[in-house]
Amino acid sequence: MRALITGITGQDGSYLAEFLLSRGYEVWGVVRRSSSENFERIQHIRDQIKLFEADLLDQTSLTRAVQSARPDEVYNLAAQSFVPTSFVQPVLTAEFTGIGVARILEAIKNAAPKAKFYQASSSEMFGKVLETPQTEKTPFYPRSPYGVAKVYGHYLTVNYRESYGMFAVSGILFNHESPRRGLEFVTRKITDGVAKIKLGLTNELRLGNLEARRDWGFAGDYVRAMWLMLQQNEPKDYVVATGKTHTVRDFCEIAFDSVGLNYKDHVVTDAAFLRPAEVDQLTGCPKRAEKELGWKPEVSFSEMVEMMVRADLKRLQPQSTRVVNLGFAKKAAV
Ligand code: NAP
Ligand code: G4F
């Protein structure tokens, strides 16, 4: 089996590539040109995958990527994925995150119409939620240009499935995190901050809305659900979530506590990190995924928080002092 992954250099792309390699796939990844390479997350598997230069903004390069890889499965994970940036660059976000889906679907329709297609849809589409928990049937109410662009990509995927009989599915994934999460997202910002404070590199962590609630899972678990969706007989959309919700404050409490610190002594709220419109709370209902895909998350919320703190401590701690016991019961499993 051959898989083509857009966004292979991102958090999910790197975990998915590892997962598919472990199942014997030939893995192709789309990377965009930049002045310096950005392959940290895939460095350890670099010699096992094939990389193809293409861009979600460029139809010709995407069509060539599909023609060259001749994939059985295409996973469209590439996007401008940071919500605050979408308020500052709404047009670019629409181009990458929205119209980019049209370009990759066109490339597949013309060059590999039998390939199965996975679109990375998002719980951000539920935005100002119309019911709790959110299911595959909950109407969307996006609260950011990113969320709006994802709604376009979502419905376009449904439309290509219904119009052209393509095996095209959307995974509506709730927030999922890991030690490979970008440093600007709140979870990694917190665990990086905790590690820096513990190591004496800084003393405060400035955050926005501490009362926002998210249904947070572990990225390694979520890429398994993406693959399972493409192994079904029928193409269908699925919510992928834990069903449990926590505040940013809860995340801080566990993260600081895991190194013997109190978040109240270090976290400062700063209006600079508030958004023009907020998504106050998200809670997914994973029942369809559990029943039809046999999917279940394996890493709990607190295990994931502690895993991320451990990894950031390891990354930031000077080599010579890494033997110091930081008080963790478990070993890093990054
Ligand atoms: P991420 O770490 O931000 O990775 C995004 C990837 O997209 C990177 O590889 C990036 O390449 C690539 N990319 C961006 N613009 C591109 C372009 N114009 N052409 C080609 N590639 C481009 O995101 P993630 O957390 O792995 O998320 C994967 C996908 O799932 C995204 O579509 C995201 O919106 C969606 N999603 C994520 C979550 C979550 O909680 N993580 C939840 C729901 C949905 P560079 O390395 O070159 O920047
Ligand atoms: O970590 P966040 O930036 O993630 P957000 O906005 O939920 O988006 C992520 O999850 C989506 C799935 O629902 C993905 F589609 C999307 O690509 C991305 O992966 O923020 C989480 C919450 C927000 O309510 C935000 O207001 O944390 C709050 N927050 C509080 N202080 C902060 C901060 N967020 C960030 N980034 N930085 C802060 O200082």
DSSP 149-215: HHHHHHHHHHHHHHHH---EEEEEEPPEE-TTS-TTSHHHHHHHHHHHHHTTS-S-EEES-TT-EE-
- What pLDDT, on the 0 to 100 scale, is given for residue 325? 44
- Which residue has a Cα nearest atom 31 of ligand 2? 208
- State whether the beta carbon of 278 lies less than 6 angstroms from ligand 2: yes
Q: Which two tokens stand for residue 304?
A: 């994931």
Amino acid occupying residue 153:
G
Q: Which of 31, 77, 134 has most ligand 1 atoms within 8 Å of CB, for mutation?
A: 77
Tell me whether residue 85 is exposed, middle or buried, using C-beta atoms within 10 angstroms of its C-beta: 0 to 12, 13 to 18, 19 or more: middle
- Which residue has a Cα nearest atom 8 of ligand 2? 83
Amino acid occupying residue 105:
L
- State whether the beta carbon of 63 lies less than 6 angstroms from ligand 1: no
Q: Please give the positions annotated as active site.
A: 122, 124, 146
- What pLDDT, on the 0 to 100 scale, is given for residue 321? 61
Report the chain's terminal Cα–Cα distance, integer Å: 27
- State whether the beta carbon of 236 lies less than 6 angstroms from ligand 2: no
Beta strands 217-218 and 213-214: pairing type?
unpaired
Q: How far apart are CA 152 and CA 134, in angstroms?
A: 19
Q: Is the pLDDT of residue 334 over 50?
A: no
pLDDT confidence of 329, banded at 50, 70, 90? very low
Q: What angle do CA 283, 284, 286 make, to 5 degrees?
A: 150
- Which of 148-157, 297-306, 315-324 is the least confident region? 315-324
Look up tokens 């509506």; give the residue: 172
- State whether the beta carbon of 49 lies less than 6 angstroms from ligand 2: no
- State whether the beta carbon of 11 lies less than 6 angstroms from ligand 2: no
Residue 282: nearest ligand to its CA?
Answer: 2
Question: Bigger pLDDT: 324 or 231?
Answer: 231
Q: Is the pLDDT of residue 319 over 90?
A: no
Provide φ and ψ at 171, rounded to 5°.
-100, 120
- What pLDDT, on the 0 to 100 scale, is given for residue 318? 80
- What pLDDT, on the 0 to 100 scale, is given for residue 111? 97
- Which residue has a Cα nearest atom 17 of ligand 2? 81
Q: How far apart are CA 121 and CA 124, in angstroms?
A: 8
Provide φ and ψ at 50, rounded to 5°.
-110, 130
pTM for the whole structure: 0.96
Contact 144, 153 (CB under 8 A): no
- Which residue has a Cα nearest atom 2 of ligand 1? 10
CB atoms < 10 A from the CB of 51, how many?
16
Going by the DSSP 8-state scheme, the letter that residue 138 receives in this structure is: S
Going by the DSSP 8-state scheme, the letter that residue 113 receives in this structure is: T
pLDDT confidence of 328, banded at 50, 70, 90? very low
